[in-house]
Every structure is written in structure tokens, then in C-alpha cells.
Amino acid sequence: MARLAEDFCYDIAIVGGGATGLGVALDAAARGLKVVLVESHDFAKGTSSRATKLVHGGVRYLAQGNIALVREALHERTTLLHNAPHLAQPLAFVVPAYHWWEIPYYGAGLTAYDLLAGQARLGKTAFLGHNATRELLPGVMPTGLVGGVKYWDGQFDDARLALALARTAATKGALLVNYCQTIDLLYQCGQVSGLTCEDTLTGKAYTVRARCVVNATGVWVDALREKDGVANAKDGRHPTKPMVAPSQGVHIVVDREFLGGNTGLMVPKTADGRVLFAVPWLGKVILGTTDTPRHDLPREPLAFEQEVSFILEESARYLRKAPARSDIRSIWVGLRPLVKPQDDDGEETKGLSREHTVLVSRSGLVTVTGGKWTTYRAMAEDVLDRCFAKGLLEKRAKGVTAHLAVVGAEADASVRKPMSELPGLHAYGSEGVLVQLLPGADHWLSAGLSEAMVRFAARHEYAVTVEDMLARRSRLLFLDARLAIALAPQVGELLREETGLDPQVAAFTALAQQYLYVANKNT
Ligand SMILES: Cc1cc2nc3c(=O)[nH]c(=O)nc-3n(C[C@H](O)[C@H](O)[C@H](O)COP(=O)(O)OP(=O)(O)OC[C@H]3O[C@@H](n4cnc5c(N)ncnc54)[C@H](O)[C@@H]3O)c2cc1C
């Protein structure tokens, strides 16, 4: 906060600390630019901690014929697995087949997916018989099962990757501040020249000067665009049209036994034509997701009853033991920032790919949204390209992040464990040894969560509240909300001891009840 208060003009100020903003911060800092990023809540508190955890090319975009997009994502998949091996790993998936024609049909598509990956291929697509399918998916519904198709993608820990990006950017000189909300934009001669922000923990206001401001606020981008539109309104009219049409996706977490094994299950077409995944993750199974339009932008969206029914009913068709509402360990919802086609203030809208969009307003505010976690690095390059093209920054060569390992990546490969396994010290990669040096290294609060990890989070990972710790440094809230509630007071005491700040235990407990919402409501 002392650095933020200094009178300094940054090259680039980024609003929003999700995958998109953090990706831009890292790329810009790695190119030697002076970078500041402000996040109103915690890093990855928005959509970026609520993904299905897949590092993927997007099989369904292939079905839509969007070859360029799939190729780019497959390339980025490899880059991510390489640069953050402790947080992102390959995962085999099986598409179970209940009609004989499904094997050649899905097999052909997935072989094409393989071929498109070229050098980036993670493993060969394989056709499986009944027994081999059941071996990989012990929990699959055996009745009527003909066989399956195995293919490869990746999986990751989204919130921990976000933290790793933030901390890697910090090692390159960037200043990143969580709990600091952008309130307004500053202008000089009609051009954006910085922003004002407020420390949400103390209420203190700050002024940040920057040559370029990037709005990377996910589904919330229109709030800042609206302010920019009002500031630039001619004749009292501000023509800013909303850019985002949010859509929510629900995930249900159940015990590992429902799926068994270390292989994901993918249903390419559910009864109503959607895609459904069952993904083994950190010792549990994630079931999801849905795609439901929303007209509001809640910070903590709740699942609709019909979304829960959909996931459970579809899962029951493919799993031997059907999960019930009472089996839900946690339920969480993310908002997709889907971009509406439009033009911005008469300027050409430039969709740099069909997935994400970068707009530069008349006053020079750069807005980026859409896309997916997997392609955050390519998105960051697109954003900086646009800043250079518009003359907001002097051009610097791209590609610096292509081989840039994130904090913790240099670990000995022997300490790695599959992401599907229980969480633990391995998630810290080469930093595991540092965690072990802190008090409480052998004091386990629950499986995979030690006292030392809480201290490490407070000292090195920007954690302030119990929610920061139990939702995003450890993923316990997303895995088992009831257990997270039980541990909250203990974790709160450790955080208070480390930071001297209020760890907000009661607020966390109230929030975590929502992650139990459906289970509570129906049991
Ligand atoms: C259900 C679902 C499943 C998904 N699954 C996958 C997947 O498996 N693989 C994949 O690759 N992608 C997946 N995605 C997509 C991916 O999660 C998103 O594309 C990505 O997380 C978006 O990141 P973002 O940084 O743009 O937005 P966010 O993560 O929402 O970040 C925006 C940030 O801006 C902050 N902010 C807002 N207003 C202000 C302000 N005034 N001042 C300061 N900060 C502010 C917010 O607090 C927030 O943290 C999924 C998305 C959803 C919804």
C-alpha cells in the first residue's frame, strides 16, 4: 500500500485480478513495463476460481468447426502444462459409448483433435472395449455399455495458478494489490491517464497514474466502460452499449467413489445437447456444468434448482451409483463473460479471436473479456499488441512468457502428484521446502492442509481472510464446505496471529453455508 501511495506514473494499470488481468500483468512486467494491478476482492475471487479446471483445446469448438481456436488453445495447453507443472497436468478422459456407432463417431472427432494438436499432443486417442472402459472408469454405468473412446486433455488448480501468476509478476517488478477497488478513471485532454481506487479493508483512497489502463474485470467490464462512456459523453449522451451477456455454470462436488480411478468422464451430448464432465480433482469429483443466462451480476451466484436437477439426473445416466442431493459436498457457480457483438463508440470492434474480445474506447480505455483460462497467455499478448498498435505504449517484442516458468515450477518431478489426488505439499512445487520451514509444518488441520500452509499464505500469498485461505489458497470450500466451516475458527486465529487483521470468520461461515445450500435445503 505504501508503494501504491507513491507519486509514480506506471506504463500500465490493470483493473481486475482474474486470469485475464493477471496474464496481462505478467506479460507486461516480463517485457520490462512498469505495471500495477488492482483487484477489488481477492485474486481469482471472480470467475477464475470457478472453472471446471480443464486445460483444454475445447472438443466442442472442433465440432463447431472452429479449427483456429482449437489449435490456439491446444498450443496454449502445452505451454501451461510446461510452465506450471505443479499446478497443471495431463488428464485422460473417456467418452463412454452406449450405442455401437458412438465409438467410430466420437473416435473420429477425437482423433482429429489429436491430429490438430500435432506436437502438442498429450497422448494417443484410443478405442476401448467394455472391460477397458470399466477399468478406467470404475464408477461408470455398466448396463448397456459398449465401450468408449479415450482422449487426453489437461486439468489444473485455477485459483492457485492465478496466485502463481500474481507472484511471478511481482518477481518481475509488478505491484499487485488485492482488496483495492477501482472507483473511477482519470483523464487528461480526453484520454484516460490513470484511476482512483480504494483499499476496501481501510477505506483509504489512492490515485494511480498510468499511460495505459486495461479493464480486465471479467463479467463486470461494463461498469467501468459505462463510467468511461459517461466521462466522454457528447451532448449528454453516452453511447456505451453493454458488452457482456453473462451465463452461469454450476459445479457439484461429490466423493471420489462415485467415479473411481484417475480418469475423467466426458459426455459430449446430454439429453438436451450439452456437454457434461465428471472430473476427478483433489480427491473429489467435479460434476458439471450448466449454461444459464443471467441478467444480474452477483458476486456469489446461487445455483437454480433445475440446474442441480439437470446435473444430478444426467450423472445418474452415466454413473453406476447415482449421486443424490445429500451427497453434495460443495456446490459453486461461475459467471461466463460471453461477449455480445457490437461496435464501441463507432470504432470497429476487433474480436481478436471468436473467444475473447479487446476493445479500445475513444479515450484509450482498453477492455478485454471473454476467452477461457487455458488461453490467458495468448489473450495477454493480444491485449499488449492492441496497446502498441494504438500508440498507448511503445512496442516491445512478444513471446517472453512462452517459456516463463511460474513461481514454484522448478520442483523435482518426483515430488509431483496427479491433480486428481488429495491436495498436499506437492501443490507448492519447489516452494514446498519453504512451507516446511514455517511453524506448524507437522500440524495438520485436515488432510492436505497444515498450520504452516496458513502461515505461508499470510506471509507470501496475499491471504488476509479465512475465505482467501479456505477458498483459494487451499480449495477446501470448493471440495467440502462442511469441513471448511468446521476449520474456519482455527484458520482465523492463525491468520489473525500472522497479519493482525480481522480474518472475517463469521462472514466466511455465512458464505460457506451457500456452498451447502442445496444439500441443506433438501436434507
Ligand atoms: C462455469 C465455468 C466453467 C469454466 N471452465 C473452464 C475450464 O475448465 N477451462 C478454461 O480454460 N476456462 C474455463 N472457464 C472460463 C474461465 O474461467 C474464464 O474465462 C476466466 O476465468 C475469466 O477470467 P477473467 O479474469 O476475465 O474474469 P474474473 O476471473 O471474473 O476476474 C475479474 C476480476 O475483476 C475484479 N473486479 C471487478 N470490478 C473491479 C473493480 N472495479 N476494481 C478492481 N477489480 C475489479 C473482480 O473481483 C474479479 O476478480 C469457465 C468459466 C465458467 C463460468
Distance 372 CA to ligand 1 centre (A): 8
Distance 273 CA to ligand 1 centre (A): 25
- Which pLDDT tens digit goes with each residue over 159-204? 999 999 999 999 999 999 999 999 999 999 999 999 999 999 999 9
Q: Which of 185, 217, 357 to mutate to test the pocket of ligand 1 (most atoms within 8 A of CB)?
A: 217
What was the pLDDT predicted at 349?
30
Residue 341 has pLDDT above 90, yes or no: no
> With a 6 A CB cut-off, is 52 part of the ligand 1 pocket?
yes
Strands (E), 63-103: 88-97
At 38, which amino acid appears?
V
Neighbours of 20 (CB within 10 A): 32
Cβ atoms of 111 and 95 closer than 8 Å: no
Q: Quote the DSSP letter at residue 51.
A: S
Cβ atoms of 111 and 451 closer than 8 Å: no
- Which pLDDT tens digit goes with each residue over 382-398? 999 999 999 999 999 99
Alpha-helix runs per DSSP H in 218-326: 221-231, 305-318
- Which pLDDT tens digit goes with each residue over 68-90? 889 999 999 999 999 999 999 99
What was the pLDDT predicted at 348?
35
Q: How far apart are CA 107 and CA 104, in angstroms?
A: 5
Q: How far apart are CA 22 and CA 164, in angstroms?
A: 9
What does the radius of gyration of the chain's CA atoms come to, in whole angstroms?
23
- Which pLDDT tens digit goes with each residue over 121-159? 899 999 999 999 999 999 999 999 999 999 999 999 999
Give this prediction's pTM: 0.96
- Which pLDDT tens digit goes with each residue over 410-464? 867 777 888 999 999 999 999 999 999 999 999 999 999 999 999 999 999 999 9
φ and ψ at 228, to 5 degrees?
-65, -40
Picking from 332, 327, 309, 157, the residue whose alpha carbon sits closest to that of residue 254 is 327
CA of residue 444 relative to chain centroid, distance = 27
Average pLDDT, stretch 303-324? 96
Going by alpha carbons, the residue nearest to atom 27 of ligand 1 is 218
What was the pLDDT predicted at 415?
76
Picking from 348, 391, 357, the residue whose alpha carbon sits closest to that of residue 375 is 357
Ligand 1 atom closest to the CA of 368, numbered from 1? 26
Distance 218 CA to ligand 1 centre (A): 5
